[in-house]
A and B are shown apart, each in its own frame.
Chain A
């Protein structure tokens, strides 16, 4: 069936999704052991979206993410050891350990960072894309956000501007059904992909649990984005709570049964259609886990983040 794909690409997807899953499970282990200061927002269940998209990008293509940014960061190529260090508040972190889980960035590989403000990244995406356009670059900006962000004013201002200026942006809305505890079906008039129509913007609605679909749709969107902006609504589900302090009183325990685990789904396809042995997949799983476990251990013992209180100006302002 999916024979346009090389097996090596599919195994790369599989490993990347597992790395994201294990990265966050290990993070959660540290949290449960009482070792995590500050909050985290886990991406568990949504891995196919970040992976299917970011593995198609070049370093010069830019992503902007949200408070739930670990998956995007890892898939774009951000170093997992440095990410652990950032979240643990260590000086070796991606951002010097100073800003934590919501703000992982690495501009050197095109990860322009997470964002703690829902809807805060849409206008920045316009600016990055405006610079691309002024410089006649062929690169694209991927602006990830959740369903909740599409109710912010910045979403509407930004879709309008991106459309009239024909900016090379792909707005990827991960509709994981909940904005914190708020049910998207009750909070959003119409549907998200339909909102793009009002701004004369092409849009796609894709099964975000199916990495083949994400990959295919994104490839098409990327072609369009060289001429004009485009929006992808990825229907997905977060299997974990909003943040580490979520008791999940707003949804039923078995609701998740309606959604496939994107990693298991790919695993089944690899075994059935590509004759990959379960043992080979177990080895990849083991390898991903080991890497993440070692990165976390290494980061944990690093020096804490530092801030020069005697040179506030230098810490806060560029020369």
Chain B
């Protein structure tokens, strides 16, 4: 299978082209997904190729989430772009009370096979209403599947898995990674990356780092002494706790890294579930500070776990018994 390096955005774009080609029920909708190419360019070139299957919508996040939901009930496979994940707040009733509930409400008679792709997180100076990491909000809701691909390979493959899934799937794409080229080759063909399965990013022996989204990229590229066993949950809900536990037990020391705010967050959930699943080693977690994200680079970069903080946490874990 031919391969080459692609950026995260190129991988998503290629996946969308191939999905529209291969899945006849699929279609795209969202704000500016036509000639503009989507908020960040992920939908470039699609409206020209599939004019009837790329629907440009007004700025009406609640209504367009309902369009995805209602058409999914009728057997379509909508892929909705919500430009910034912060705007999901405007759609949250439709997502939480409608899309997530319909399978249960209908006693299994109606299914909602829809996908939302949304750009999330900090690192672009977009300020407090365009930089949040709200993935844990949705992970709290039964009926939704929430994933956060951390690299172009996963981004391309998980999109197909999401489109094929018969439930609402929300994909949080860390937008700070959009323009980064992949460090591994991406197959030209369409392939699937399984939802609900953690991935070992790099095998190591001293300390297991469980990192999500952008933090995978950061930890992967850090120069630290201990041998790191890096694992990426990929899917936040359902969490592959057995997969994470297996990796945690390899080193008996765990550091959980998230860009999203630590307080009441997914890091606490992973921490607790590992403990409940029987993990006996030592754990620490580092997440975003309890603050809006600043537009100023000098502040923004300190609001998520910094390299210094990560190094210090690793050191502390290595010296604890």
The interface of chain A, by Cβ under 8 A from chain B, is 94-96, 98-99, 103, 105-108, 112-113, 115-117, 120, 122-132, 134-135, 153-154, 157-158, 160-161, 164, 312-313, 315-319
Contact = CB atoms under 8 A, between A and B. Distances in A.
Given A105-B105, A318-B167, A112 B143 contact: no
B66 interface: yes
Contacts of A131: 70-71, 73-76
Interface of B: 27, 52, 55, 57-58, 60, 62-76, 78, 93-94, 97-98, 103-113, 142-143, 145, 166-167, 238
Contacts of B66: 122-127, 154, 158
Contacts of B75: 131
Contact of A120 (B52, B71, B93, B107): B93
Given A95-B105, A117-B93, A318-B166, A154 B62 contact: yes
Nearest to B99: A124
Nearest to A104: B105
A126 B70 contact: yes
Contacts of A130: 55, 67, 70-71, 76
Contacts, number: 133
Contact of A122 (B52, B63, B106, B238): B63
B98 A124 contact: yes
A96 B73 contact: no
B70 A125 contact: yes
Contacts of A122: 63, 66
A129 B70 contact: yes
Given A122-B66, A127-B66, A127-B68, A95 B107 contact: yes
Contact of B106 (A107, A125, A160): A107
A107 B110 contact: yes
A161 B67 contact: yes
- Among A127, A131, A160, the most chain B Cβ lie within 10 Å of the Cβ of A127
Contacts of B113: 318
Given A122-B63, A123-B65, A161-B63, A128 B74 contact: yes
Contact of A316 (B55, B69, B103, B111): B103
Contacts of B76: 130-131, 134
Contacts of B167: 317-318
B120 to A, nearest CB: 23
A134 B71 contact: yes
B105 A99 contact: yes
Contacts of B112: 318
A98 B109 CA distance: 13
10 contacts: A95-B106, A117-B93, A120-B98, A123-B62, A124-B69, A127-B69, A128-B74, A161-B58, A313-B238, A316-B103
Contacts of A315: 104
Contacts of B62: 123, 153-154, 157
Contacts of A105: 105-106, 109-110
Contacts of A158: 63, 66
A116 B97 contact: yes
B98 A123 contact: yes
B58 A317 contact: no
Contact of A98 (B55, B107, B111): B107
B10 to A, nearest CB: 28
A139 B111 CA distance: 20
Contacts of A124: 66, 69-70, 73, 94, 98
Contacts of A125: 66, 70
A113 B104 CA distance: 12
A128 B71 contact: yes
Nearest to B112: A318
Contacts of B64: 123, 161
B170 to A, nearest CB: 14
Contacts of A98: 104, 107
B88 to A, nearest CB: 14
B131 to A, nearest CB: 24
A317 B68 CA distance: 18
B41 to A, nearest CB: 25
A117 B97 contact: yes
Nearest to A114: B105
A315 B106 CA distance: 11
A263 B112 CA distance: 39
A22 B67 CA distance: 36
